Structure 1
């Protein structure tokens, strides 16, 4: 066979092999790309499933809340209707007859408006009832007093005498001694607002008899004013005494400040019987 013919045949076979290899390589690349795409879609599907699961849990929670609110609303309506029926049955005239609750005639304004919303006819009309469960104190006890001028250079164990009386219901506060004496037994609230002078600091307590019932520390910067306001809620017997006094363990610095624009004050009031 001629050498040129052999070369041509060999070249044709070589080109065919190269194309076959190239085609196989392209197919392999496409397969890898498809596999990666499927893997990514699987991850995304898993994420969507997780989101759907979380949303379903939230839907169930909201449905439960709606159900509970419907039950509470139903219960409240039943109570309101019962209260209205009870009130209606108890309404009597002076001669023993029942009070007619039906509205037959209503005054109209120039536009014919009667003041009654006819769209609310299907809703229960409930009266506000005063019950015996509301506690009312037989007598009131309260006081509110201020310092008319500053208490200067106070030391340890120093009583603060608030001498300007604004309110003294029950006459329990003594402006000369700065003490409050309980005229009746009960639960009381006591509080004070105290301003140190600029650059001053002090620890001040509320005392019941000889017992500390509220502690407070306050310090005033030289460039501003600030105050402290402790609150105590305690039981008091008749004759128990409450007053404000500086601490017996901390050395105060400066004055208890009070002037026409800034008042240190002391207050207390009875909130309940024992």
Structure 2
């Protein structure tokens, strides 16, 4: 736009220099002013249209975000209504499988569990048997569905040059230990096993955790299992 205005002014000046009679630049100036006014109006109109388009896009995005917010809020409210009731003395109601046979077997499926720290709960992720649903494969914890006498087995393997102290834990208290030790061996693996018979209350939790840092071998050579021997009053 500035170039066009300059061109029109220059043409008027050149015309004055090279012509003897005095031309009237007022006409050209008037045309120039009208041209500039039209050009400004056109540019302002284009900017206004572009601004209106951007505002419409922003408004649409805002409406979409509000709809998403309302949808998420509805989902949260629905989930809140479906929460479990508070714990009560009658815990049996929280375990629908109570009274049915209880038994599980699970193993560590990755090739190795490395860089294990102290008090790291071992996740026996591959669940082979879980009658009664008392073992939770995503946490590695067995939760007793009923009060009773239970029996548990653990077999753990360490690869050559590795070792790992393991603990059998009941409700946060360490009962005893297991130690597959192949630290001093360069060619052979080491396997260790143990068995526990314990009384559990309904809702009691049992799991296997590390005692100190180490490493254990998986590929289902390290297994954890247990079952209910008999219910107790």
Normalised by the size of structure 2, how large is the TM-score? 0.54
Unaligned runs of 5+ in 1: 1-137
| 2:126 corresponding residue in structure 1 | 164
How far is the alpha carbon of 1:157 from its aligned partner? 1.0
Is this contact kept in 1: 2:163–2:216, CA < 8 A?
A: no
Q: Decide which structure has the larger Cα Rg and report it.
A: 1
Query: Matched residues in 2 for 1:252 and 1:202: separation?
Result: 7
| 2:149 corresponding residue in structure 1 | 187
Is this contact kept in 1: 2:103–2:129, CA < 8 A?
A: yes
Is this contact kept in 1: 2:160–2:190, CA < 8 A?
A: no
Q: Over residues 174-193 of structure 1, what are the superposed CA-to-partner deviations in whole Å (9 max), with x where a residue is unaligned?
A: 11100000011110001111
Unaligned runs of 5+ in 2: 1-98
Structure holding more strand per residue: 2
How far is the alpha carbon of 1:160 from its aligned partner? 0.5
The RMSD of aligned alpha carbons is: 1.6
Is this contact kept in 2: 1:201–1:252, CA < 8 A?
A: no
Query: Matched residues in 2 for 1:244 and 1:165: separation?
Result: 15
- Aligned partner (choices 102, 105, 109) of residue 144 of structure 1: 105
- Aligned partner (choices 222, 229, 232) of residue 271 of structure 1: 229
Is this contact kept in 2: 1:214–1:230, CA < 8 A?
A: no
Report the count of equivalent residues: 132
Correspondence 1:117-128 to 2 at 5 A: none
Q: Over residues 202-253 of structure 1, what are the superposed CA-to-partner deviations in whole Å (9 max), with x where a residue is unaligned?
A: 2101101111122112201221112111111000111000000011xxx333
Correspondence 1:18-167 to 2 at 5 A: 139-149=100-110, 150-167=112-129
State the 4+ residue runs in structure 1 displaced beyond 6 angstroms: none
Q: Over residues 52-80 of structure 1, what are the superposed CA-to-partner deviations in whole Å (9 max), with x where a residue is unaligned?
A: xxxxxxxxxxxxxxxxxxxxxxxxxxxxx
Normalised by the size of structure 1, how large is the TM-score? 0.46
Query: Matched residues in 2 for 1:181 and 1:230: separation?
Result: 20
| 2:206 corresponding residue in structure 1 | 242
Asked which structure has the greater RCO (Cα within 8 Å, sep 6+), the reply is 2
Is this contact kept in 1: 2:122–2:210, CA < 8 A?
A: yes
SS at match of 1:219: coil
| 2:163 corresponding residue in structure 1 | 201
CA distance 1:198–1:252, change in 2 (3 Å): farther
